Structure 1
Amino acid sequence: MTTQDDTTALTEVMEQMSEAWGRNDADAYGASFTADATYVTFVGTYYSGRADIVACHRTLFAKFLKNTKLASEITDIRFYGPDTAVVTSRGDTYKGATPPKASKLSKVQSCTFVREGDGQWRIAAFQNTQRKPLMEAISFKTAPGTIPAAQRQ
Structure 2
Amino acid sequence: MSEEITRLLERMTQTWNAGDSAGYAGLFTEDADYITFFGLHLKGRQAIEETHRALFRTSIKLAEGGPEPIVRPLTDDVALVIAGGTSSVDGVPDPSRTSVISLTALRTPEGWRFASFQNSRVSKP
Identity over aligned residues, as a percent?
A: 33
Query: 2:87, 2:98 within 8 Å by CA — same for their partners in 1?
Result: no
Residue correspondences, number: 123
Matched, 1:82 2:73: no
Q: Structure 1 stretches of 5 or more lacking a match? A: 1-5, 136-153
Query: 2:37, 2:119 within 8 Å by CA — same for their partners in 1?
Result: yes
Please name the residue that 2:33 is paired with.
Answer: 38
Farther off after superposition, 72-81 or 105-114? 72-81
* 1:31 positional shift: 1.0
- Sort the Cα spacing of 1:100 and 1:75 in 2 relative to 1 into closer, same or farther, 3 A: farther
Q: CA RMSD in A?
A: 2.0
Query: 1:24, 1:67 within 8 Å by CA — same for their partners in 2?
Result: no
- Return the letter of the residue paired with 1:122: R
Query: 2:60, 2:87 within 8 Å by CA — same for their partners in 1?
Result: yes
State the TM-score, normalized to the length of structure 1: 0.73
* Structure with bigger RCO (C-alpha 8 Å, 6+ apart): 2
Please name the residue that 1:60 is paired with.
Answer: 55
Please name the residue that 1:122 is paired with.
Answer: 113
- Return the letter of the residue paired with 2:100: V
Higher strand share: 2
Q: Which of these two proteins has the greater Rg computed from alpha carbons? A: 1
- Return the letter of the residue paired with 2:72: R
* 1:97 positional shift: 5.7
Q: Structure 2 stretches of 5 or more lacking a match? A: none
Give every structure 1 segment of 4 or more consecutive aligned residues whose post-TM-superposition deviation is greater than 4 Å: 96-101
Higher helix share: 1
Please name the residue that 1:131 is paired with.
Answer: 122
- Sort the Cα spacing of 1:75 and 1:13 in 2 relative to 1 into closer, same or farther, 3 A: closer
